[in-house]
Amino acid sequence: MVYLDYAATSPLLPEVIKAMHEAEQKFFANASALHTPGHLAMNKIEETRSLLAKLINAEPSEIIFTSGASESNNTVIRTFEGHKIVTSPLEHHSIIESAKVLSGDKEPALYSYMLANNEIGEFLPIDKITKKVHKNGDFAHSDLTQILGKLTIDIKALDLDYATFSAHKIGGPVGVGALYVKNGVPFKPFIIGGNQEKKRRGTTYNTIGIIGFGAALKHTIDHETWKIYDTKIRVLRNKLARRILGEIPGSSLNTDLDNSLPNILNASFEAAEGESIQLYLDAEGIIVSTGSACASGDIKPSHVLMAKTGDAEVAHSSIRFSFGLNNTEKDVEKVMQVLPKIIDRLQKISTIERKQK
């Protein structure tokens, strides 16, 4: 199998599997309990908190564990319920949909812009946005879910008040995430009912999941994975991009290779429907996405590509290839052995006329 859907989720790292298996046997106790097994579990949770804080240049006290990026995003938006909430049309649905419901006209405002988009990988100028936001006395949040492990993160240099992270994008388990909340900024708990996380998220700790997150963070730090992405993975992504443009008529890129994450490539194929391309590739053992996996049940064109191109045909004919640490040149070769034939087959039976160049 050629797996090129790392932006959706990544396979569990061997270190993570080992750490979680050990946790099931040794650190299963309720981490809020006063007894010794509870203290041991809490110590492991605090280890993960410290690792994430170290990786992003934050204080451990500024890290809150959540069930994932969507909860983290929702928590920030709900903190500013009734206030002016400003986002971009490229944001994840967990930001866009909650902002539609909860935005008002009160001040101060919240500005939420992801540093890099999950479907096309392109960067937004967060440094310029946060400078303007804070000058006006407002607050800044960024969804950094796709950034962790791919680039170095200095939360202080980014000048963010809130930031979102997820474990399963870096080889950790699904169902665990984190929210950075700068000391002193407004905050309202999303889940109420317990004293966990200093009363900032009330519920029993997902100790085993958090330990798995910690193992993934340790792997990220020990291997400096952002350097691997900037070299090996960027080369693979760019090679696939060049070959698609050179070997497949009617192909185009939706990703700016000079202004994007090194592992995401979004391409469109004229007169070929994205879901069909995905299914044909799947039959060949090549796993890709038609966009954001969170919206895979939605037949509407990608809101990201519609915002960028305004062209429904481009959006419906798009495929996202997203690379991870395990990919090699053989994976690119495998894709290009079968993708041109698939596109040619679909274009020949399509009812959409090819545009004349």
Residues 6 or more apart in contact with residue 233 via CB below 8 angstroms: 262, 263, 323, 324, 325, 327
- DSSP letters along 10-46, please? -PPPHHHHHHHHHHHHHS-S-TT-SSHHHHHHHHHHH
Percent of all residues in the chain with a pLDDT value above 70, rounded to a whole number: 96
Q: What is the pLDDT of residue 292?
A: 45
**pLDDT in the model for residue 297:** 54
Q: Which pLDDT score, from 0 to 100, does residue 14 have?
A: 98
**Mean local confidence (pLDDT), 344-351:** 90
Q: Over range 227-240, report the average pLDDT.
A: 98
Whether 257 and 273 map to the same domain: the answer is yes
- Identified catalytic residue from 174, 253, 287, 294: 294
CB-CB contact of 112 with 143 (8 Å): yes
Among 203, 223, 243, identify where a domain stops.
223
Task: Please indicate whether residue 294 is annotated as part of the active site.
Answer: yes
The CATH number covering residue 71 comes to 3.40.640.10
Mean per-residue pLDDT, 165-169: 98
Domain match, 91 and 209 both: yes
**In this structure, what token pair is assigned to residue 124?**
């937004």
Residue 44 binned pLDDT confidence (cut-offs 50, 70, 90):
very high
Q: Is residue 7 part of a domain?
A: no
DSSP string, 215-283: HHHHHHHHHTHHHHIIIIIHHHHHHHHHHHHHHSTTEEESS-TTSB-TTEEEEEETT--HHHHHHHHHH
CATH (domain of 263)? 3.90.1150.10
Count of CB atoms situated within 10 Å of the CB of 223: 12
Q: Cβ distance 157 to 331 under 8 Å?
A: no
Task: Record the pTM.
Answer: 0.94
pLDDT tens readout for residues 188-210: 999 998 899 999 999 999 999 99
Mean pLDDT of all residues in the chain? 94
Domain endpoint, select from 223, 256, 273: 223
Say what the pLDDT of residue 282 is: 98
Q: Are residues 165 and 31 in the same domain?
A: yes
Residues 232, 271: one domain? yes
User: Per-residue pLDDT averaged across 171-186, rounded?
Assistant: 98
Q: Across residues 31-53, what is the average pLDDT?
A: 97
- The string of pLDDT tens digits covering residues 3-29 is 999 999 999 999 999 999 999 999 999
The verdict on 25 and 91 lying in the same domain is yes
Q: Which residues of 316-325 are buried (b: 16+ CB within 10 A; e: fewer)?
A: bbbbbbbbbb
pLDDT value at position 355?
Answer: 61
Dump pLDDT digits (tens) for 282-302: 999 999 999 544 545 556 788
Q: DSSP 3-state assignment of 165?
A: strand
Number of structural domains found in the chain: 2
The verdict on 85 and 33 lying in the same domain is yes
What is the span of the domain harbouring residue 68?
14-223
